[in-house]
């Protein structure tokens, strides 16, 4: 499945075959038979934390209320966590503000050293972190290990960037004046993350923020908060000072906590990954205090296969791009456009490969495709399948519920612009194939969306590669490459897919203010 993407460290880690198992669950396999699945015991049980983390302390909510977190593969409860409120968040912001007074004065080298310690501890605890991630998110354990490695790379990258926040000297046109610029941390940052990458969505924000000299208050996804808390445990061991990293957990008070982060004047920046609708709401709330914002929002990624493409590579690329994380990533291929001359062959070959995927519990070593996150996600997938079939689409394979939150990966042909998948982000394991005739036609179709996060295409014509890459309206383009993200490269969208950059040499600037100093009387 992932052969085409093996050059990336993330997907190489996904194929790690080493497993240690003990505890057991019973779940439904893709063949509708009951399979016994072994679940690893944590080597270090103290990484599984059941409290919020504020000012270096493990705390309950002021109300003492809690909410349950469930394993999406079994719908069994994993544990209970504090139902933090807006007031709890306000207190966390206060502690972060107090910590900022000293954290901002640390040197880049000091912050580098602490982030590298955190990086080393994450490396040492990869197996346990991956186990916690699979428990709450459901993705295959090998893929969870890949996420830990990928996510941790941002700690290493931004540790090294912490010592490179260079200013400038500007030649003066006035003899007795000198012009310089310096970069300074913005202050307290509110970070709101989703459930689909419980570790990586946090590390690529927090790594940049801490490297810049900021302190953070994190609200992780209610479905997957344990990974964030495990990272906090390791941050404490690494020596990150109290109040620099804080996590408030909530399910019922998500809107109130988000509003507090966005409207509290002490918070100087909001970094959010999630839906475009919620992003717009948070932007409007943050506008009252003119906060800096970074928004990584929804996508509707086109994946284009031209008739001169290497079909082997294109099929493998579509498989990796569409089905990793059970199709629950913001950069997954959502609309697959295939040129008429290769449409039938591509569809047949992709369906054959999809038929080799195996759905199951993430702790089953044979699983390639885990569950969807919850029942609402399953219902959306069903709606998209039913809509496509009712309007003339043909299911080549899959497309049925496999019990609970499991859904058979599907390939649908005969897709048209009138179908829901053409305009809505599916966020699930459906490969929807649209036919096209010409380059101009497919570019018009690909760009006919309010979203502009990621785009992909396959071609062996060097002229076409340049033309198409430049004309696709997206913040990121994969030409003959199905996996885009790394700590070294900029991640971000245009149009209604957001604003701002994560990762790369540009990522740290999102957490800094540029100050110009004019020195006269020289």
pLDDT tens digits for 324-347?
999 999 999 999 999 999 999 999
Question: How crowded is residue 41: how many other Cβ atoms within 10 Å of its Cβ?
Answer: 12
The average pLDDT across 37-63 equals 95
Give the torsion through C-alpha atoms of 512, 513, 514, 517, to 10 deg: -130
The pLDDT value given to residue 39: 80
Phi, then psi, of 300 in degrees rounded to 5: -150, 60
Question: How crowded is residue 34: how many other Cβ atoms within 10 Å of its Cβ?
Answer: 8
Q: In angstroms, rounded to a whole number, what is the distance separating the alpha carbons of residues 442 and 456?
A: 12
What b-and-e string marks burial along 152-173, b requiring 16 or more CB atoms within 10 Å of the CB?
bbbbbbbbebbeebeeeeeeee
The chain-wide mean pLDDT, for the chain, equals 93
**Sign for the pseudo-dihedral over CA of 506, 507, 513, 519:** negative
Q: In angstroms, rounded to a whole number, what is the distance separating the alpha carbons of residues 476 and 123?
A: 29
3-state DSSP call for residue 158? helix
Is 302-479 a domain of CATH 3.40.50.1000?
no
Q: In angstroms, rounded to a whole number, what is the distance separating the alpha carbons of residues 497 and 511?
A: 20
Residues belonging to the active site: 296
The pLDDT value given to residue 152: 98
DSSP summary character for residue 401 = B
Q: Please give the distance of CA 430 from its chain centroid, rounded to a whole number.
A: 19
The pLDDT value given to residue 33: 42
The pLDDT value given to residue 37: 80
pLDDT of 512 strictly over 90 = yes
Helix (H) or strand (E) holding 213: none
The average pLDDT across 85-98 equals 98
pLDDT of 34 strictly over 70 = no
Length of the chain: 522
3-state DSSP call for residue 79? strand
pLDDT of 258 strictly over 50 = yes
Q: Which CATH superfamily is domain 45-297+497-517 in?
A: Aldehyde Dehydrogenase; Chain A, domain 1 (3.40.605.10)
What are the residue ranges spanned by the domains of the chain? 45-297+497-517, 302-479
The average pLDDT across 258-280 equals 98
Residue with tokens 């490179």: 164
Question: What are 3-28's pLDDT values in tens digits?
Answer: 333 444 444 444 333 333 333 333 33
Question: What percent of the chain lies above the pLDDT cut of 90?
Answer: 92
Q: Please give the distance of CA 474 from its chain centroid, rounded to a whole number.
A: 17
The pLDDT value given to residue 35: 63
pLDDT of 86 strictly over 90 = yes
Residue with tokens 């063949």: 31
């Amino acid at each position: 499945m992932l052969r085409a993407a093996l050059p990336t460290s993330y997907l190489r880690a996904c194929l790690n075959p080493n497993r240690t198992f003990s505890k057991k669950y019973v779940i439904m396999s893709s063949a509708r038979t009951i399979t016994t699945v072994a679940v690893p015991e944590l080597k270090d049980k103290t990484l599984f934390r059941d409290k919020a983390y504020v000012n270096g302390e493990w705390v309950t909510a002021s109300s003492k209320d809690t909410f349950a977190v469930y394993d999406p593969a079994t719908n069994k409860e994993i544990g209970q966590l504090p139902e933090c409120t807006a007031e709890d968040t306000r207190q966390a912001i206060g502690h972060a503000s107090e910590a900022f007074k000293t954290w901002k004065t640390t040197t880049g080298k000091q912050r580098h050293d602490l982030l590298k310690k955190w990086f080393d501890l994450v490396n040492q605890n990869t197996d346990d972190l991956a186990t916690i991630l699979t428990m709450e998110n459901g993705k295959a354990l090998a893929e969870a290990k890949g996420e830990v490695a990928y996510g941790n790379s941002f700690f290493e990258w931004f540790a090294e960037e912490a010592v490179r926040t260079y200013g400038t000297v500007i030649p003066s046109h006035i003899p007795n004046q000198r012009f310089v610029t310096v970069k300074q941390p913005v202050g307290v940052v509110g970070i709101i993350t989703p459930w689909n990458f419980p570790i990586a969505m946090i590390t690529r924000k927090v790594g940049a923020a801490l490297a810049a000299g900021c302190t953070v208050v994190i609200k992780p996804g209610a479905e997957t908060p344990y990974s964030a808390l495990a990272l906090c445990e390791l941050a404490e061991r690494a020596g990150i000072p109290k109040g620099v990293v804080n996590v408030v957990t909530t399910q019922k008070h998500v809107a109130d906590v988000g509003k507090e982060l966005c409207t509290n004047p002490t918070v100087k920046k909001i970094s959010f990954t999630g839906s475009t609708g919620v992003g717009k709401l948070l932007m409007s709330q943050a506008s009252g205090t003119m906060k800096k914002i970074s928004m990584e929002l929804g996508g509707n990624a086109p994946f284009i296969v031209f008739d001169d493409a290497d079909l082997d590579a294109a099929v493998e690329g579509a498989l990796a791009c569409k089905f990793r994380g059970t199709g629950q990533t913001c950069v997954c291929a959502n609309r697959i456009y295939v040129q008429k001359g290769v449409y039938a062959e591509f569809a047949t070959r992709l369906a054959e490969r999809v038929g080799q995927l195996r759905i199951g519990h993430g702790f089953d070593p044979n699983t390639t495709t885990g569950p969807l996150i919850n029942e609402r996600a399953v219902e959306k997938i069903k709606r998209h399948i039913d809509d496509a079939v009712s309007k003339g689409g043909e299911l080549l394979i899959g497309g049925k519920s496999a019990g609970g939150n499991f859904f058979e990966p599907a390939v649908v042909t005969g897709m048209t612009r009138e179908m829901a998948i053409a305009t809505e982000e599916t966020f699930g394991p459906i490969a929807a194939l649209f036919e096209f005739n010409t380059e101009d036609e497919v570019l018009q179709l690909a760009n006919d969306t309010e979203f502009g996060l990621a785009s992909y295409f396959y071609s062996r014509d060097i002229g076409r590669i340049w033309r198409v890459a430049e004309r696709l309206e997206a913040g990121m383009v994969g030409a003959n490459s199905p996996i885009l993200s790394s700590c070294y490269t900029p991640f971000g969208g245009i149009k209604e897919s957001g604003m701002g950059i994560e990762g790369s040499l540009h990522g740290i600037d999102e957490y800094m203010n540029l100050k110009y100093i004019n020195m006269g009387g020289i």
